[in-house]
């Protein structure tokens, strides 16, 4: 290990472990799989590697600022590295994140991504996509309908439960 000690990187990982997503404050960046790695850069400076949930995600600026604040509070020099490949996938979400989304009123992804592992290359099917069963996070009913392809953010779709009549977001699988 160079300029950064192993214990410094571990302390930084612990400090970042609870850093919340700015758009969904009940889940951490780690739980969502956005926070990819904490490592020592080739010059000995700590690097925090993040991957956006989708290209153009408006929260990435805030996420970077939040990470820089944690670095500063830890007394460590460092930088944020945005890694685009492989592209983020909902497969990287922890089970804890999915349960926290549900409890918060957002239905988590109901199936895995369509990306082939490990290359991250998006695979397209010649067959029509099957409708996804999206249960209501409030009452559990499967009698739901999509009302808009985008919800409160572009990574979510807006649904409505036809039983309890409540609207809710569905975190789309990527």
- The rounded distance, in Å, linking the Cα atoms of 15 and 9 is 10
Asked if 143 and 164 sit in the same domain, the reply is yes
* Positions of the chain with pLDDT lower than 50, given as ranges: 1, 114-121, 123-128
Does any domain span residue 1?
no
The verdict on 165 and 99 lying in the same domain is yes
- Closest CA relative to residue 67, chosen from 103, 36, 99: 36
Range of the domain at 70: 6-82
Q: Residue 35: which CATH number?
A: 3.30.300.130
Tell me whether residue 112 is in a domain: yes
Write down the pLDDT at residue 39.
94
Q: What is the dihedral of CA 20, 17, 73, 8, to 10 degrees?
A: -160
80-96 pLDDT, tens digit each: 999 999 999 999 999 99
Is 23 in the same domain as 55?
yes
Helix ranges (DSSP H) in the chain: 6-16, 29-32, 60-73, 95-104
138 and 109 housed in the same domain = yes
Please report the pLDDT score of residue 8 as a whole number: 82
Residue 129, pLDDT score: 52
What pLDDT score was predicted for residue 112?
Answer: 62
Q: Which residues of 118-137 are buried (b: 16+ CB within 10 A; e: fewer)?
A: eeeeeeeeeeeeeeeebbbb
Q: What is the strand order of the sheet 106-107 is part of? A: 106-107, 167-171, 156-161, 144-148
Pairwise CA distance, residues 111 & 150, whole Å: 18
Number of domains in the chain: 2
pLDDT of residue 132: 81
Say which residues have a Cβ less than 8 Å from residue 84's Cβ, sequence separation at least 6: 51, 52, 55
How many residues would you count in the chain?
174
Residues 49 and 18 in one domain: yes
């Amino acid at each position: 290990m160079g300029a950064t000690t192993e214990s410094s990187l571990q302390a930084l990982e612990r400090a970042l472990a609870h850093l919340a997503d700015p758009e969904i404050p009940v889940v951490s960046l780690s739980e969502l799989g956005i926070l990819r790695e904490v490592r020592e850069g080739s010059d000995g400076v700590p690097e925090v590697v993040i991957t956006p949930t989708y290209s153009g995600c408006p929260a990435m600026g805030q996420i970077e600022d939040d990470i820089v604040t944690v670095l500063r509070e830890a007394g460590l020099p460092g930088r944020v590295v945005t890694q685009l490949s492989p592209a983020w996938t909902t497969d990287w979400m922890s089970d804890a994140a999915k349960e926290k989304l549900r409890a918060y009123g957002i239905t988590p992804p109901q199936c895995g991504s369509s990306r082939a592992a490990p290359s991250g290359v998006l695979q397209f099917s010649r067959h029509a996509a099957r409708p996804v069963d999206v249960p209501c996070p409030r009452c559990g009913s499967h009698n739901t309908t999509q009302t808009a392809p985008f919800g409160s953010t572009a990574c979510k779709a807006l649904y409505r439960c036809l039983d309890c009549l409540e609207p809710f977001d569905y975190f789309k699988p990527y």
